[in-house]
């Protein structure tokens, strides 16, 4: 079982990293989502794997799995959702602004106003 | 406590000038003066104790775990410096009132000045060296503001920046040095460090600590080769130069050398570094000063020279030399501040401070001229003025010191420096005040108002009095300070004008004669100097800065050239390298934990998950397929959580999964549906290898951890969940109670994320983007029924049920899996389905929920719950429980954590809905859809012959 989990984390990470390195923003977002899964499962696994022992106090329980990583991961899931949402909306906005969804800026000489400033003005 | 107040008063008072300027310039100056006067009087109230040799202490613990405490102490040395800072401060404040013109913003000037004053007093009274460092940095910052006060002058800005860079980097070195020092001594309290001199000098870290601390002192006190910032800082208004660059800030380095003298001085390293640096600085400063035509530049280099003199005296390491150093600090502060103010007067009244354009001022402004000549004579070391006394003591000490076995060397160099010193001092007198009275001045010069000449006059009176009656006027003070510097040694000496025919007197006489000859033949000397090389420190400094900037550019642009791919690849590559290098360097035996068996269910889930990942990678160019595959992976993750005893996680994961997929679909509506192929096999290969390495690393790490047993720190939570938190679901109790503060932070992050999304999307509704949206053409065929009846009816039926389920999940969360996060997501899904079924506009008209408000109220409710604990005297977010007997329902068990969870719930609903609703709003804008009239495309109540138009 442990091997299945560890290898699943590895596979999700590998897939996530590969997608992260692609040129288009939406693919990067998908990669980020996979990487979040991998990270959350990895964190969760730090409490070691236990079956049929949820951390709910009860007189009948044989034992409890470690609640602390679970609490941490629970908020991490919500936060990574928020992050994914922000990133996908940023991808959308930059696509709307520039007409392309490449994760690449035109190299701007640093003496001229940056592309960001122009975008901010353009949106007003 | 009044000791702490002395330090705090200038800081508190710093707010006043900025306000009082509205009541006029006099009110502003008077307020500043009063604040400083109050601090000065408080300081003087401690004088009797200090002169008795007592040490006054005050303070409180701030961060005792770090050794950082707000502790102050007042001994002779601190008293002396604080007196200089506040006393001369009073004179400067008066002088500046008349110096600043109507156009200068006086309020901010006095505010900066008080900030600086507070920081300086803080340095000299701190007992804790970490606290001292904070004040040290504050002086750098406030002096930056003061030097750059005339923002419109480029020299002012450049000088301010240069001063900040030089003293700031010295300050950084000193932080390191002080930390090392505190580490050796085992305490950051000065009073403890000063008792551990032997241990510190015996430590192998003594020399590094010494070098680092001296780097701070030398930069601050403008010692060679860091002396160049001081003349450039002269672009500041003259009151600033007089205050910072003669009397106080440049003496901070000297102060620290004096303060740490008992601990650091006396070794060979100290002698050769400090005394030699001081000697060189003294000579170079005096030499350059002779050839400066700008009065302030002349005084600046003269200050550099005198600072070198004092540094050298401390460097000699004998108690008598330290006493002479203290005496010269006092004397230099009096005559140099007076001269700076005088230079300001000349500049102010005649319109120039170029010596070549000045002359004969004795007849035009006799009062100022008399004072300046007395002060300059003291600077030259002419009896019976105070400068003569301390210079005599210096020459005496130097004459008795051998440098690397050469007994004559230091004496000769010091005498040479004294020659130049005499020459430039008399040049100030002869070329400015004597000579024919000129009438080509920009303004007709005359003596300034009394407010401007009184402050320097007071100092000149001191110059004369100390010179005539040294033992009476300055004797007790100097001996008290010297005792504090040397750590209590009582020396047999007395300050006097006449010591008989000593070698020092001879050296003085030689210096005066040669100095006068140099001035007599000034044209010739200047010609020789013109012919020689003139290394420009400013150009070297600028070149150094430019090189640093170029390097930063190369590195930054090399790493981050605007391509996300390149930057991510570098970052991931670096992390992989780091991880593997640690792994390869450490021993790794296989783990011994008993493993769980693999079941068929687990294997199936694993296959689906891995399959999902493979599909995502292979199909990532077909975005919809890839998204579905990501959904599969997410589902498997949540099933995994169920299987592995984490029901809360499973519930959260599955509801997040739903919301995420909806969100991505909404975004995909406007984004391209496919990704064009990327060229370049090599890049795919590189990325693939990186991905495999990263995956192998993370997977390997997980495997390594999972096969080993571990100590958990969760025992406390499991034991205390019911008695302490009032709930049996330990995960939820941790979230809302034990670690409620984390959760509080997290809901704030969630709320901010939603607001960012709102801002990004709302911005797209206006301007150029909105025009682009308006001309957007759907790239996919639309379904014929946008709002299908089946969906509309089903979701309407589901809504109350879903809300009830959400409420139930919320209520039970404290005891069984559930809680605010999950309930929030469930309710959000129930609401968003309404949007999907009947269209955004239709639903929005009927569900007038203020999502911004929900986020705000949620955070507020959570915070109020937390603050409620304060009311009853518990720490933030301490949970309380009540037992309520209700008539029908029976005993109800309510924990205050439930209100906190309600806040979490509101934020989650608000944030999720805000994000999704805005995404659908923008989609509707792009498709030019009118708000439909009915909830679905088909109106069941109408006959088939009359379809409703929308």
Residue of A nearest to B699 (CA): A10
Residue A116: the pLDDT is 39
Question: Do the chains contact at B634 and A33, CB–CB below 8 Å?
Answer: yes
Q: Which long-range contacts (CB under 8 A, 24 or more apart) does B704-709 make?
A: B704/B588, B704/B591, B705/A45, B705/A46, B706/A2, B706/A5, B706/A6, B706/A45, B706/A48, B706/A49, B706/B591, B706/B593, B707/A2, B707/B590, B707/B591, B707/B592, B707/B593, B707/B595, B708/B591, B708/B592, B708/B593, B709/A48, B709/B592, B709/B593
Q: Does residue B833 register a pLDDT over 50? A: yes
Q: What is the pLDDT of residue A7?
A: 94
Q: Would the CB atoms of A2 and B596 count as touching at under 8 Å?
A: yes
Chain B residues touching residue A3 (CB < 8 angstroms): 595, 598, 703
Of B821, B831, B899, the residue nearest B651 (C-alpha): B821
Contacts of A16 in chain B (CB under 8 A): 691
**Within 13 Å, how many C-alpha atoms sit on residue B373's CB side?**
15
C-alpha–C-alpha distance, residues B815 and B231, integer Å: 72
Phi and psi of B126, rounded to 5°?
-65, 135
Q: What residues pair up with B883 in beta bridges, in sequence order?
A: B893
Enumerate the domain spans of chain A: 2-106
Is residue B329 a contact partner of residue B386, using CB atoms and an 8 Å limit?
Answer: no
Which of B137, B97, B376, B116 is CA-nearest to residue B243? B116
pTM over 0.80: no
Residue B113's pLDDT band, with cuts at 50, 70 and 90, is very high
State the DSSP H helix or E strand holding residue B63, giving kind and residue range, or none if neither.
strand B56-63
Q: Reduced to 3 states, what is the DSSP secondary structure of residue B498?
A: coil
- B658 and chain A in contact, CB less than 8 A: no
Using CA of residue B441, residue B446, residue B447, residue B449, what is the dihedral sign?
negative
Contact A123 B610 (CB under 8 A): no
Contact B735 A73 (CB under 8 A): no
Q: Quick check: A78 and B908 CB within 8 A?
A: yes
Three-state DSSP class for residue B167: helix
Is A83 close to B742, i.e. CB distance below 8 A? no
Compute the distance between CA of residue B358 and CA of residue B350 in angstroms, rounded to an integer: 9
Average pLDDT for A56-84? 88
The full length of chain B comes to 950
**Among A74-78, A105-109, B751-755, where is mean pLDDT lowest?**
A105-109
Residue of B nearest to A77 (CA): B653
- Average of per-residue pLDDT across B63-81: 87
Cβ <8 Å between A7 and B698: no
Interface-testing mutation among B570, B616, B627, with chain A (most A C-beta atoms within 10 A): B616
Check residue B436 and give its pLDDT. 76
Q: What is the mean pLDDT of residues B272-286?
A: 92
Q: What is the average pLDDT across B286-297?
A: 88
Cβ contact A17–B691 (<8 Å): yes
Tokens describing residue B76: 């002779």
Determine contact, residues B515/B422, Cβ cutoff 8 Å. Answer: yes
* β-strand partners of B294: B354
Minimal CA separation from B842 to chain A, in Å: 23
Is residue B308 very low, low, confident or very high in pLDDT (cuts 50, 70, 90)? very high
Are the CB atoms for B611 and A11 separated by under 8 Å?
A: no
In sequence order, what are the beta bridge partners of B406?
B403
Is residue A119's pLDDT more than 50? no
Nearest CA in chain A to B821: A78
Separation CA B739–CA B645 (nearest Å): 21
Taking an 8 Å cut-off on Cβ atoms, the answer to whether B675 and A96 are in contact is: no
Residues of B in contact with A60 (CB under 8 A): none
B717 touches chain A (CB under 8 A): yes
Give the pLDDT band (50/70/90) at residue A14: very high
Backbone angles phi, psi at B885, to 5 degrees: -100, 115
Q: Report which of B452, B309, B449, B460 is spatially closest to residue B386, judged by C-alpha positions.
A: B460
Whether B730 and A48 lie within 8 Å, measured CB to CB: no
The per-residue pLDDT for B212 is 94
Q: What pLDDT, on the 0 to 100 scale, is given for residue B523?
A: 83
B539-587: pLDDT as tens digits: 888 898 899 999 999 988 888 777 888 888 999 999 999 998 988 887 7
Q: Cα distance from B894 to chain A (closest Cα, Å)?
A: 18
Q: Please tell me the predicted confidence (pLDDT) of residue B721.
A: 82
> Mean per-residue pLDDT for B869-895?
69
Structurally, at CATH architecture level, domain A2-106 sits in Orthogonal Bundle (1.10)
Q: Does B610 sit within 8 Å of A17, measured CB to CB?
A: no
* Residue numbers of B between 599 and 638 with CB closer than 8 Å to A: 599, 602-603, 606, 609-610, 613-614, 616-617, 620, 623, 626-627, 630, 633-634, 637
Residue B949 has pLDDT above 60, yes or no: no
Say which of B643, B667, B696 has its CB closest to residue A10: B696
**Mean pLDDT, residues B375-383:** 89
Domain ranges (residues) in chain B: 275-520, 728-940
The answer for residues whose C-beta is within 8 angstroms of residue B380's C-beta and 6 or more apart is: B387, B421, B422, B425, B426, B512, B515
At A112, the pLDDT band (50, 70, 90 cuts) reads: very low
Q: Token pair for residue B183? A: 């580490």
Taking the CA of residue B795 and the nearest CA in chain A, the distance in Å comes to 24
B575 near A CB under 8 A = no
- Give residue B725's pLDDT band: very low, low, confident or very high (50, 70, 90): confident
CA-based nearest distance B232→chain A, Å: 27
Q: Judge whether B7 and B125 are in contact, CB under 8 Å.
A: yes
B735–A96 C-beta distance less than 8 A = no
The whole-number pLDDT of residue A123 equals: 39
How far is CA B606 from each of CA B459, B593, B600, B921, rounded to the nearest angstrom? 87, 21, 10, 38
Of all residues in chain B, what percent carry a pLDDT higher than 70?
Answer: 97
- Give the list of residues 6+ apart from residue B527 with CB closer than 8 angstroms, or none: none
B757 near A CB under 8 A: yes
Question: Mean of the pLDDT values across residues B83-105?
Answer: 89
Cα–Cα separations (whole angstroms), residue B267 to B177, B264, B476: 17, 7, 29
Element (H, E) at B59: strand B56-63
Please name the member of A2, A37, A84 whose beta carbon is closest to the beta carbon of B637.
Answer: A37
d(CA A12, CA A1): 17
Query: What does the pLDDT look like over B137-157, one tens digit per residue?
Result: 999 999 999 988 888 888 888
What's the whole-number mean pLDDT along residues B416-435?
A: 87
B-chain CB neighbours of A62 within 8 Å are: none
Q: pLDDT (tens digit, 9 = 90+) per residue, B468-519?
A: 888 887 888 888 888 888 877 667 677 777 777 788 788 888 888 888 888 8
Q: How far apart are CA B925 and CA B841, in angstroms?
A: 10
pLDDT of B924 > 60? The answer is: yes
pLDDT at B180: 92
φ/ψ of B258, rounded to 5, equals -70, -45
Give chain B's mean pLDDT.
Answer: 86
Judge whether B433 and B371 are in contact, CB under 8 Å. Answer: no
B650 contact A CB<8A: no
């Amino acid at each position: 079982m442990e091997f299945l989990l560890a290898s699943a984390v590895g596979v999700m990470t590998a897939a996530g990293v590969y997608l992260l390195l692609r040129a288009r923003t939406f693919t990067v977002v998908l990669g980020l989502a996979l990487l979040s899964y991998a990270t959350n499962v990895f964190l969760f696994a730090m409490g070691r794997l236990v079956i049929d022992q949820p951390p709910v106090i009860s007189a009948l329980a044989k034992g409890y799995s470690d609640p602390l990583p679970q609490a941490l991961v629970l908020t991490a899931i919500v936060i990574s959702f928020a992050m994914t949402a922000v990133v996908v909306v940023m991808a959308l906005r930059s696509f709307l602004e520039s007409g392309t969804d490449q994760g690449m800026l035109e190299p701007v000489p640093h003496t001229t106003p940056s592309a960001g400033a122009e975008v901010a003005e353009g949106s007003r | 406590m009044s000791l702490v107040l002395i330090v705090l008063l200038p800081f508190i008072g710093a707010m006043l000038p900025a306000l009082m300027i509205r009541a006029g310039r006099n009110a502003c100056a008077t307020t500043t003066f009063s604040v400083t006067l109050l601090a000065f009087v408080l300081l003087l109230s401690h004088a009797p104790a200090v002169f008795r040799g007592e040490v006054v202490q005050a303070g409180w613990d701030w961060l005792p775990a770090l050794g950082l405490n707000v502790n102050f102490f007042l001994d002779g040395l601190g008293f002396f410096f604080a007196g200089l800072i506040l006393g001369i401060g009073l004179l400067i404040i008066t002088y500046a009132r008349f110096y600043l013109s109507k156009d200068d913003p006086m309020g901010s000037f006095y505010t900066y000045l008080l900030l600086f004053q507070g920081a300086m007093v803080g340095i000299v009274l701190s007992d804790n060296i970490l606290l001292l460092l904070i004040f040290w940095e504050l002086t750098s910052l406030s002096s930056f503001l003061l030097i750059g006060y005339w923002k419109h002058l480029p020299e002012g800005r450049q000088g301010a920046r240069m001063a900040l860079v030089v003293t700031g980097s010295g300050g950084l070195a000193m932080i390191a040095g002080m930390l090392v020092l505190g580490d050796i001594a085992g305490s950051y309290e000065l009073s403890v460090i000063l008792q551990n001199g032997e241990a510190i000098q015996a430590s192998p870290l003594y020399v590094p600590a010494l070098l680092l601390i001296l780097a701070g002192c030398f930069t601050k006190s403008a010692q060679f080769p860091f002396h160049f910032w001081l003349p450039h800082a002269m672009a500041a208004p003259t009151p600033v130069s007089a205050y910072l660059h003669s009397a106080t800030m440049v003496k901070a380095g000297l102060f620290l050398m004096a303060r740490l003298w008992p601990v650091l001085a006396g070794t060979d390293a100290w002698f050769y570094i400090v005394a030699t640096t001081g000697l060189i600085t003294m000579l170079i400063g005096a030499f350059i000063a002779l050839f400066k035509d700008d009065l302030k530049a002349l005084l600046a280099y003269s200050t550099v020279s005198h600072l070198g003199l004092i540094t050298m005296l401390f460097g000699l390491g004998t108690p008598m030399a330290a006493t002479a150093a203290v005496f010269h600090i006092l004397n230099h502060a009096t005559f140099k501040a007076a001269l700076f103010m005088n230079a300001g007067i000349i500049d102010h009244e005649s319109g120039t401070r170029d010596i070549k354009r000045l002359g004969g001022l004795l007849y035009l402004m006799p009062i100022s001229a008399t004072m300046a000549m007395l002060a300059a004579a003291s600077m030259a070391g002419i009896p019976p003025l105070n400068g003569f006394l301390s210079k005599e003591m210096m020459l005496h000490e130097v004459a008795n010191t051998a440098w690397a076995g050469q007994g004559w060397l230091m004496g000769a160099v010091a005498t040479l420096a004294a020659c130049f010193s005499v020459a430039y001092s008399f040049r100030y007198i002869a070329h400015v005040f004597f000579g024919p009275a000129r009438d080509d001045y920009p303004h007709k010069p005359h003596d300034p108002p009394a407010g401007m000449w009184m402050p320097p006059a007071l100092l000149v009176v001191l110059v004369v009095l100390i010179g005539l009656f040294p033992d009476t006027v300055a004797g007790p003070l100097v001996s008290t300070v010297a005792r504090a510097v040397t750590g209590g040694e009582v020396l047999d000496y007395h300050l006097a004008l006449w010591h008989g025919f000593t070698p020092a007197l001879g050296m003085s006489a030689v210096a005066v004669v040669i100095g006068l000859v140099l001035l007599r033949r000034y044209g010739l000397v200047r010609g020789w100097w013109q012919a020689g090389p003139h290394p420009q420190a400013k150009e070297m400094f600028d070149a150094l800065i430019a090189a640093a900037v170029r390097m930063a550019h190369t590195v930054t642009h090399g790493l981050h050239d605007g391509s996300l791919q390149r930057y991510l690849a570098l970052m991931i590559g670096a992390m992989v390298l780091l991880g593997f290098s640690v792994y390869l360097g450490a021993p790794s035996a296989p783990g011994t934990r008993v493993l769980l068996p693999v079941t068929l269910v687990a294997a199936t889930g694993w296959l689906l998950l891995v399959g999902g990942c493979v599909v995502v990678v292979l199909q990532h160019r077909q975005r919809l397929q890839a998204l579905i595959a990501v959904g599969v992976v997410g589902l498997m993750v949540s099933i995994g959580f169920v299987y592995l005893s984490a029901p809360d996680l499973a519930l959260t994961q599955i509801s997040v999964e739903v919301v995420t997929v909806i969100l991505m679909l909404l975004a995909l509506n406007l984004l391209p549906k496919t990704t064009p192929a990327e060229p370049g096999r090599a890049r795919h290969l590189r990325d693939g290898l990186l991905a495999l390495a990263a995956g192998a690393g993370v997977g390997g790490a997980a495997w390594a951890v999972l096969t080993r047993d571990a100590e958990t720190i969760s025992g406390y939570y499991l034991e205390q969940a019911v008695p302490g938190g009032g709930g049996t679901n330990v995960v939820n109790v941790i979230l809302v109670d034990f670690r409620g503060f984390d959760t509080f932070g997290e809901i704030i992050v969630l709320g901010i994320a939603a607001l960012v999304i709102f801002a990004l999307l709302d911005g797209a509704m206006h301007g150029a983007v909105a025009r682009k949206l308006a001309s957007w053409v759907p790239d996919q065929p639309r379904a014929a029924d946008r709002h299908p009846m089946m969906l509309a009816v089903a979701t309407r039926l589901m809504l109350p049920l879903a809300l009830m389920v959400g409420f139930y999940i919320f209520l039970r969360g404290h005891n069984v899996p559930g809680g605010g996060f999950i309930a929030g997501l469930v309710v959000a899904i129930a609401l968003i389905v309404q949007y999907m079924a009947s269209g955004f506009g239709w639903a929005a008209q009927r569900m007038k929920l203020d999502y911004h408000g929900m986020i705000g109220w949620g955070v507020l409710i959570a915070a109020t719950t937390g603050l409620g604990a304060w009311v009853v005297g518990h720490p933030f977010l301490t949970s309380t429980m009540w037992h309520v007997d209700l008539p029908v329902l029976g005993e109800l068990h309510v924990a205050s954590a439930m209100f906190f969870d309600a806040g979490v719930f509101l934020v989650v609903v608000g944030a999720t809905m805000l994000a999704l609703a805005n995404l659908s709003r923008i989609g509707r804008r792009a498709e030019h859809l009118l708000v439909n009239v009915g909830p679905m495309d088909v109106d069941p109540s109408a006959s088939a012959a009359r379809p409703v138009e929308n």
